[in-house]
Structure 1
Amino acid sequence: MKKDSSRRSFLRKATLGSAALTSAPLVFASSYKEKLWLNRSYEPSLFLANDQINLALIGCGIQGIHDTQTALQVDGVKLVAVCDLYTGRLDRGKELWGDALFTTRDYRELLNRKDIDAVIIATPDHWHKKIVIDALKAGKHVYCEKPMVQKYEEGQDIIKAQKDSGKLCQIGSQGMSSLGNEKAKQLYAEGAIGDIVMLDFYNDRYSAEGAWQYPIPPDASAETVDFDTFLGNAPKVPYDNKRFFRWRNYRDYGTGVAGDLFVHAFSTLNYVISSNGPDRALATGGLRYWKDGRDVPDVSITLYDYPKTETHAAFNAAFRINFIAGSGGGGGFKLVGTEGEMEIGQNSVTLKRSKLGMVPGGYSMIAYTETTQQKIREEYAAKNLEPRSSSLTTGETKWEAPDDYKGGHYDHFYNFFQAIRGKGKIIEDPTFGLRAAGAALLANDSYYSKQPVNWDPDAMKLV
């Protein structure tokens, strides 16, 4: 009833074209096309040295550096230490953030320091559970890169450790706190697309770098890389530069395209529609082009079933990744409903509402005589299946962030640090993180087992 009321409210506002609308577009004719602006305000603040949040980075690779550079844009945050298993990255840390930076190959040295308040964990996936739990037990707030876990069973241990520690843990799906997600959630709650029937998500890439063939430094060796520690609980193998610097290509350390990319889409989807996730997955795909020793597919297509809940109808989701897309690349995330669709990005949301054709046209009428056609038209006219009001709410509105918007990645860290200061709440806690990662991992289970897999999104476990 609440959802139906929201939908009626949205339609009424859209039809009236009131200037006081919250999300519904202004309507001046039978259809519309317009552009509106999103905005974000941040709390002004001035921090003294002893008010700063001291931050440490564990895993100074590609994403770790991007995370840290973004985190340091937030006022009142200072980086004091970096850990990595490759000495060249420790050198890079000092290049970026100063010679005074404390560096080490042993993350436990950072956790033992009393001057560190929070840590960013941007290690390979198979290390997430142990380091997150160790950090929480050491009294540190944690920002952990997605996916939160490499294996389903690891998630409950992290949830428990976070609750027991009393510290905060934010999972790092960068777009979660974005203006785009925020507006899409509001629009969906107001009934802008009616009942959801499908999600269409895709990510196409057409480069070696996009397919995780990252450059390997010329000084990489068993002396400059602590390979044994990198392996952790993974199977023991001889030193291998590719496994260390391109770990995403291997099941022993990563989670494939599902854990790297699907998890972003699940984070946004579950947030926007207030869902706990899907209950079934069926995956296919293969290794089509990047046959460089990797044991994960470079093309993946997975279909998910979402059950009916209080916040959404039963619907289907299609997730597609192609690392050898001859089109040149691109991506999209679109929610399709019974009354409209939303294309969602971190910086924008485009809402399209169309008129549902309920009256037969020339295609089917051709089979009847002219006299019969006239009778059919009269019968449909009497039913009034396409009232004028159905045309008044059709068209397109695009909400877009201004050029100076700091971005969803910044907002996610701002949210994290504000929560540490007691001025907000974490938007992606470990329970949310497990539901997003768990849904993504279903794709891997289905792909390798060559059969559908079932999941309990509430209990967060395989069925």
Structure 2
Amino acid sequence: MKYNPSDSSRRRFLKTSLGAAVAGPQIVRAETLGNKNAAGANSRLGIGFIGVGQISQGHMVSFASMKDVQPIAICDVRQSALQNAEKKLADRGHKGLQATSKYEEVISNPDIDVVCVTTPDHWHAAIALEAMKAGKDVYVEKPMTLTIEEGQKMVEAEKKYGRIVQVGSQQRSSVHFRIAANLVRNGLIGDIKEVYCRLGSFPQPPEKEKIVPVPEGFDYDRWLGPTPFYEYSDNRTRGHYGGGWRCYWDYGSRKFGDWGAHHFDIVQWALDRDDTGPVEFIPAGYDGNKHHHYRYADGITVWRDKKPDHGHMIRFIGTEGEVHVSRGKIESLPKDLVRHRFGANDIQVYESKDHRRNFIDSIKSRKPTICPATVGHRSGSICQLAGIAERLVRPLKWDPVAEKITNDAEAAKMQSRPRRAGYELPDIG
């Protein structure tokens, strides 16, 4: 079912969106949406899902199960993905959704307050920026953007339009990572010297792609969007956590933008550096270095895939102990440190027990989420800078205040990327 707004709806949208940046979301009443029995007299936030492939499955189910959220629209460039999403939501009582391959139709729908952007990385920024400009609040998957330039624009738009943004760095809403951050922040393992992060590896893209016809019902040119044009191959557009499009620099930052976006984000959080970043990036293979690593101005070094990691995703090494943390578990040296009880005078980081719920609650309160655009940009910049260093196989010097690469003109140009005509970044004025 495709939504076709009438002229009066368009006028209503233009009127309400101009005030939305200041006034907050336009709450959709359940009665209006035919959900009186489901929500009673409560009001609901209308949500549109843009990109309904692999990573979106959990988001659709979770948001759709919230009593104060109403699915309104789904969007994908694959008709098969739209059909699957329609069935998934219909099975949960949400029928008659707007279904379209054009994200602009979702953003222009006046009944939508919130968009959930779960496309491949190269589409995150443009869609999120257009949504904020139209007065929508945005949940966007990590890494928030493909480039540093895009991240800067996201931060600017978040502030200018007064929007609520949640970046999908959901480890911040995990109790184990929160405990780790609190232990590090309070100096309970002394001064941090090193951090090990386990990222793993992706295969390289095939040297010679098997060119095949574009599948019926797939808008391949729009999937490519701002990136260079290539003849179609199945692997290039495949959504797969172990490879597919994630293997290509055109669409992401490989493992830096995959697990790095999660783990580097936790390092930033634990070290209390959400408003800054490292100053140097050294790639594996340069000057005999076996492991990629980066350093902060005070000398703390973060290593990729260095052993031993003691079976954990992140290992914080301090002068008086260690913290080892992964999804679902945490350990420490000394062992009983993880049972430390924090008091009123201790530092305690932002607490969120559910990443998606934190987003919805923040929309209502108009207070920042646990991972707003400012945070997502700083963590994303580390992924992007690490990727630039890896591609050039030489070290980079980074000024985290000016947000500029200072020692390499070629690398500095890679802070942004050329975009195909017709897919320019939105102008936010």
CA distance in 1, matches of 2:245, 2:353: 26
Q: 1:396 pairs with 336, 339, 342, which one? A: 336
Q: Distance in 1 between matches of 2:325 and 2:339?
A: 10
Out of 69, 74, 82, the position equivalent to 2:74 is 82
Query: How far apart in 2 are the matches of 1:51 and 1:321?
Result: 50
* SS at 2:187 equivalent: coil
1:339 aligns to what? Answer: 320
Given that 2:76 and 2:100 are in contact with CA atoms closer than 8 Å, whether structure 1 keeps it comes out as yes
Question: Which residue identity does 1:305 align to in structure 2?
Answer: R
Q: Give the counterpart of 2:292 among 302, 305, 308.
A: 302
Equivalent in 155, 162, 172 of residue 159 of structure 1: 155
Where does structure 1 lack aligned partners over 5 or more consecutive residues?
A: 1-45, 214-218, 287-299, 309-313, 323-329, 354-394, 401-407
Instruction: Note the C-alpha offset of 1:396.
Output: 3.2
Match 1:240 to one of 233, 243, 252: 233
Partner of residue 440 from structure 1, selected from 371, 383, 390: 383
Q: Distance in 2 between matches of 1:422 and 1:47?
A: 20
Q: CA deviation at 1:223?
A: 2.5
**Displacement of 1:409 after TM fit?**
9.7
Whole-Å separation in 1 of the counterparts to 2:352 and 2:217: 31
Which range moved further: 232-241 or 54-63? Answer: 232-241
The amino acid of 1:459's aligned partner reads: A
Aligned to 1:43: none
Aligned to 1:319: 304
Give per-residue Cα distances to partners, 1:132-189, cap 9 Å, x unaligned: 1100011110011111111111111111111121111111112112212222222223
Higher relative contact order (CA 8 A, sep 6+): 1
Give the drift of 1:220: 8.7
Once the two structures are superposed, the pairs formed by residues 14-53 of structure 1 within 5 Å of their partners are: 48=40, 50-53=42-45
When residues 49 and 130 of structure 1 are mapped into structure 2, their CA distance, relative to the original with a 3 A threshold, is: farther
Closer, same or farther in 2 for the Cα pair 1:49/1:304, shift >3 Å?
farther
Cα distance in 2, alignment partners of residues 106 and 409 from structure 1: 33
Task: Find the counterpart in structure 1 of residue 113 from structure 2.
Answer: 117
Among all aligned residue pairs of Structure 1 and Structure 2, give the percentage whose two residues are the same amino acid.
30
Residue deviations 1:20-41, cap 9 Å, x none? xxxxxxxxxxxxxxxxxxxxxx
Instruction: Report the Cα distance in structure 1 between the residues aligned to 2:224 and 2:268, rounded to whole angstroms.
Output: 33
Q: How far apart are residue 319 of structure 1 and its match? A: 1.3
Contact 1:179 1:348 in 2 (8 A): no
1:195 match: 191
Match of 1:18 in 2: none
1:238 and 1:410, CA in 2 relative to 1: closer, same or farther beyond 3 A?
Answer: farther
Map 1:43-442 → 2, pairs under 5 A: 48=40, 50-98=42-90, 99-204=95-200, 221-245=214-238, 246-275=244-273, 276-284=276-284, 301-308=291-298, 314-320=299-305, 331-353=312-334, 395-398=335-338, 411-422=354-365, 424-442=367-385
TM-score where L is the length of structure 1? 0.67
- The match for 1:31 is none
Q: CA, structure 1 residues 233+423, in 2 after alignment: closer, same or farther (shift >3 Å)?
A: closer
- Gapped regions of structure 2 (runs ≥ 5): 1-37, 207-211, 239-243, 341-350, 407-429
TM-superposed deviation, 1:59 = 0.6
Give the structure 2 partner of residue 20 of structure 1: none
SS at match of 1:446: helix
Indicate conservation of the 8 Å contact 1:341/1:351, yes or no. yes
- TM-score, L = length of structure 2: 0.72
Give the aligned length.
338
Give distance in 1, aligned partners of 2:292 and 2:66.
Answer: 37
